[in-house]
Each structure stands twice: as structure tokens, then as C-alpha cells.
Structure 1
Amino acid sequence: MPAVWVVMPAAGRGTRFGGELPKQYLQVGGQPLFAHTLAALFAHPAVAGAVVAVSQNDADWPGWREFAGKPVLSCVGGATRAESVLAGLNALPETVRADDFVLVHDAARPNLALADLEQLLERGGNDPVGAILAAPVRDTLKRAGDDGGIDATEPRQRLWRAFTPQLFRRLQLSRALESAAAAGVEVTDEAMAMERLGHRPLLIEGSENNFKITTPADLARFEFVLRQRREQGTGNGG
């Protein structure tokens, strides 16, 4: 797999998490949360560097230029995830060509397994469109009525939960995000933008441990994982 860069949207305020400090800057194990995310990504030799999209006048961004020996760039993100990802794509170095693959990964998803990243790069990099990490839906799904009662049980076959990283070509993804914005469609992940243009990214099954920090309970879960990993003397196994 040729070298790839990462775009990391980190301009959100994490309103669901609560608190004054955005969750990506919360200290975990002596480092901000997004540092653990960068470490998981940079553990793969094919990952060359990252662009982090931060909010305007972000006083919490430490201004890093490198991490783990690899370059870290920053840019001003937007009001939505899609705007931040597009800003990050535009801020990539000139060495990243239009048809080169780029990873997009959540800043608050620090428990990415190296084996999952390897699968994504290997299989997605051989696809004309790209791929995302995801997991099949295993729970029974219920559709709720307005009164809170159950209206129906939904079939879960062929349903997947989308994770990140997501791997797409720089120009294709930029055009997909621009098209969605022009149509007034707020996409919730990069694959959705690609789907609008008729592209069919691969679904690559990844570990359920690649969870996103959304609530304080999620943060406590990652702290527990981190303590276990350090006590066992292991790296990031997801």
C-alpha cells in the first residue's frame, strides 16, 4: 500500500458528552484523547501524516507539528463534519495527488486495532472506490411509534454499523462532499457522500472495540482498556 495521509475532523464541541472542554482534548493516561487516536493511526507504516481540522480560534489545540516522528498539520474546520473533512482534504500536502487514497478518522475513536487498519488499507486500496470499517448489526431492531410503543421489528439482515477510518480517493471524496453541500444534504459520514454519487464502497468488518467516545461511560471504558494494555505491556491491539 502506498503512503496515505489521514484527515481528522476535530472541530466539534462534543455537546452530547457535556463539559466545557471538547472531548478530543480530555486527558487520558497523561495525553489528550486525540493523541491516542493519532498513535493508533501512526502505528501503521503506510500512514505518512495527518491533517487535523480544528475549530476557529481553538485555544485547546496544542499546535503540534509532528507526532511519533510523523508530520501533523492543522487547518480550520467548519460547522459540520463534512465541512471539516473538506477543509482537511484541501489542506493536504501537494504530494497527495488527486487519485491518492486518504483516510478519514474520528478524533474520538482512539481504540483502532492495527489489524483492522491493515485490512482496510489492503482491501480498500485495491478497490476503485474505497472502503470503510464497519460491523454487522447483531441486535434486534425495533421501530418506535410517537407514543414510545413498538410499531414493528425491523429485519437486521444486511444492516451494518459504520465506523471509521473510511478510505477514499482525495478528489472523488472532495467532489462527493461538495455535491452534497450544494444539494443541501448533510452527510453523516464520508461513505454517505460517495453513495449519493452512485459509488459503492466496500464494507470491511472491523472490531466492535473500535468505539467512539460519545459519553462519559465511553471514556471510562477506554481508560480501562488503556490501563489493561499498559499493565500487560502490549501495544494498540484494539
Structure 2
Amino acid sequence: MMNNGLPDQFGLTAVVPAAGIGSRMGAECPKQYLSLAGKTILEHTLLRLLAHPAITTIVLALAPDDCWFETLVLARDPRILRVLGGSDRARSVLNALHQVKSDWVLVHDAARPCLTSADIDALLAVGLTPDGAILGSRVRDTMKRSDEAGNIIATVPREALWHALTPQLFATRTLKGALEEGLALGALITDEASAMELAGHVPRMVEGRADNIKVTRPEDLALAGLFLRQQQDELAITKATKEQP
């Protein structure tokens, strides 16, 4: 048995949709290729996934005109398979799922470089069910609803509200069917859980670390760098504590 309680033969594939251009960053290249602590954001993301012992393969969905990934050292890692991304996230993930051989799949945002193995463990502990599970963080701020003109029309109770994070964990065949059905209906699919919900499933919410942020705007880049440094400090302290007699 592995340390996380999964059998040695358990194989898990991670799907990473990375065909977007990240226009809100206002950068000259897609946001996943921006530099962060000596690597691109995408490199951090992929290395975090590959560091987990349950993940044997990553299927990476890239834009047709992507000229950046080939320049990275990770482009030669045999554990990373490349597929053509689609016109939106759902189609990119579906294209990737056609190449997935494992029974279970994790879908993770390319621009979430601060994922920890502990959060993957927490997701696996409860998500290997027909309905699957996703990582999330509880909403902590007061939530307001406005009209189209920006006028506040209601204060929304936050007790049952979550920020949806990734990875999101589902049975491969079930997720594939849910995405195909949702796309055929022309439904708005904002993440994999929304496709599963439309298909009648009830995914579990697993509380993850709030520092598992998605780099979307320029200010997020500095914040992600801070979180990476803090996580390195945490690991160093943990290691030093274990080594003490």
C-alpha cells in the first residue's frame, strides 16, 4: 500500500487544460507561461501534480498555436501527453479525456501553481465515488448581489457558499459522458463539477487550502510567489522537526 492508503497498482491521470490565452493578465504570452519563482506558472503546476505518487500521467491540452511549451524541459517528460485544446475549457478537457486510460481523473487548472500533495490526499480520501468531489475554500467575506447597474439588491448568507477550486476528481467515463451531454445541450459549463451537476450527480465539496489560488490578474502573480515561499518554509520546518532526536 502507498502512504495515502491507495493500492500500489492504483493509477491516476491528471488533465490540465492549458489552451487559454489569459487576456486579463495583459501579457505578451498566455498567463501559464509567465515567470514565477524561476519557473513558468505551468511548470510549477505540472511539477506539483507529478510529485504526487498516485498520479502516473498528465494529459495537457494546448492551443493549436502554442509555441511555448516545447521550449520547456518538461516537454520531454514521458509522463506528460499533449493533446489539442478546444475552443473552451469543456472541449479541451473532453479532448484530453479521450486519451485517459485510468478509471479516475483529476482535472486541475494550469494557472494554480500552489497545489499541495496534502490537498490531493484529502480529495482522494472522499472523492472515489460515483459522484466525485472537488476542492473548495469557504467564502469568508460578506457576499452581495447587485443588479446590472451595480446597485446592491441583497446580502447573501455565506454559510453554505464556497469558492470552487481544482483539482476536481471524477470517474473518467462518468465525467466524459457528463461533458458530452452538457455540450450537446448547449449548457454553460464553467467547471467539471457543473457538468456533473447537470447530469444529476452530487459531487462532494472537500475543504482545501485557501492558498491554492488561480493566477488570473497581475496582482495574483506576486501573491502566488509569496504562497510558494511560505509553503517551502512549512516543508523546511516539518523536515527539521522530523529530524530532531
TM-score computed with the length of structure 2 as normaliser: 0.87
Secondary structure at the counterpart of residue 160 of structure 2? coil
1:166 to 157, 165, 168: 168
Gaps of 5+ in 1: none
Deviations 1:63-101 (A, max 9, x none): 7131xxx60010100110000000111122xx42xxx11
- The more displaced of 226-235 and 20-29 is 226-235
Contact map agreement 1:82 1:186 (CA 8 A) in 2: no
Post-superposition offset of 1:193: 0.1
Gaps of 5+ in 2: 1-5, 238-245
Pairing 1:102–2:105 present: yes
Post-superposition offset of 1:204: 0.4
The separation in 1 between residues aligned to 2:149 and 2:230, in whole angstroms, is 43
The separation in 2 between residues aligned to 1:144 and 1:12, in whole angstroms, is 29
Structure 1 pair 232/158, CA: closer, same or farther in 2 (3 Å)? closer
Aligned to 1:139: 141
Post-superposition offset of 1:39: 1.5
Post-superposition offset of 1:115: 1.0
Pairing 1:154–2:156 present: yes
The separation in 1 between residues aligned to 2:234 and 2:127, in whole angstroms, is 32
Contact map agreement 1:7 1:52 (CA 8 A) in 2: yes
Q: How does 1:141-220 map to 2 (within 5 A)?
A: 141-220=143-222
Pairing 1:118–2:139 present: no
2:50 to 35, 39, 42: 42
Post-superposition offset of 1:40: 1.4
- The more displaced of 185-194 and 152-161 is 152-161
Aligned to 1:65: 76
Contact map agreement 2:211 2:227 (CA 8 A) in 1: no
Post-superposition offset of 1:205: 0.5
1:20 to 28, 35, 41: 28
Amino acid at match of 2:76: R
2:91 to 70, 83, 87: 83
Post-superposition offset of 1:13: 0.2
TM-score computed with the length of structure 1 as normaliser: 0.89
Secondary structure at the counterpart of residue 86 of structure 1? helix
Post-superposition offset of 1:149: 2.1
The separation in 1 between residues aligned to 2:84 and 2:158, in whole angstroms, is 39
The separation in 2 between residues aligned to 1:81 and 1:27, in whole angstroms, is 23
Amino acid at match of 1:38: L
Secondary structure at the counterpart of residue 143 of structure 1? strand
Aligned to 2:60: 52
The CA RMSD measured in Å over matched residues stands at: 1.9
The separation in 2 between residues aligned to 1:123 and 1:232, in whole angstroms, is 25
Post-superposition offset of 1:145: 2.5
The separation in 1 between residues aligned to 2:150 and 2:199, in whole angstroms, is 36
**Greater helix percent: which structure?**
2
Aligned to 2:11: 3
Secondary structure at the counterpart of residue 168 of structure 1? strand
The separation in 1 between residues aligned to 2:54 and 2:135, in whole angstroms, is 17
Percent identical: 46
Contact map agreement 1:65 1:73 (CA 8 A) in 2: no
Superposed structure 1 runs of 4+ greater than 6 Å apart: none
